[in-house]
Amino acid sequence: MRTRLGLFLALVAALSLATGTAYSMQSADVTGKWTMTFSIGDNERTIMLDLTQDGTNITGTSQAEGQEEPSPLTGTIEGNNITLNISGMGGRGRGGRGGRGGRGPIAWEGTVDGDTMSGTRSMGGRGGDMQIQWTAKRNS
């Protein structure tokens, strides 16, 4: 009897651990509208994000201040780690692409904590590598 009880308790513990591990590996849900902010020098910039999540894949649009039309974006999320590939950050008419900018997608990597995302992005420039801190908050 004691052996069966011990076996039963071990099985319950193993199932609880497996269930807890599977639950903790689920990705955060980022579907919705977000406002991303970051600074370059003394200039604070804002990008509006509209995200849709399907499993670990993210699609949607981004629209930076001064950008005439939203640009498509893609991304991935694994647990709380997120990567957003944002295009069209060139501003109005830059690069001859009608307000979508002349650059390819830029990867923004960070973490999600409820209704907040944040991260650091390296950006090369004339003076070398610059670190940009960014945050995004889900709109109510």
Q: What is the CATH number of the domain that holds 84?
A: 2.40.128.120
Domain containing 94 equals 32-138
| Residue 118 within a domain | yes
Candidate from 6-15, 18-27, 58-67, 72-81 with smallest mean pLDDT: 18-27
| Residue 16 within a domain | no
| Residue 24 within a domain | no
Is a pLDDT exceeding 60 seen at residue 27?
A: yes
Mean model confidence pLDDT for the chain:
80
Q: Which residue has the higher pLDDT, 89 or 33?
A: 33
* Per-residue pLDDT, 104: 73
| Residue 14 within a domain | no
Residue type for position 113: D
| Residue 26 within a domain | no
* C-alpha dist (Å) from residue 66 to 34, 62, 95: 17, 12, 14
* Per-residue pLDDT, 121: 87
Region 56-66 average pLDDT: 95
Number of domains in the chain: 1
| Residue 120 within a domain | yes
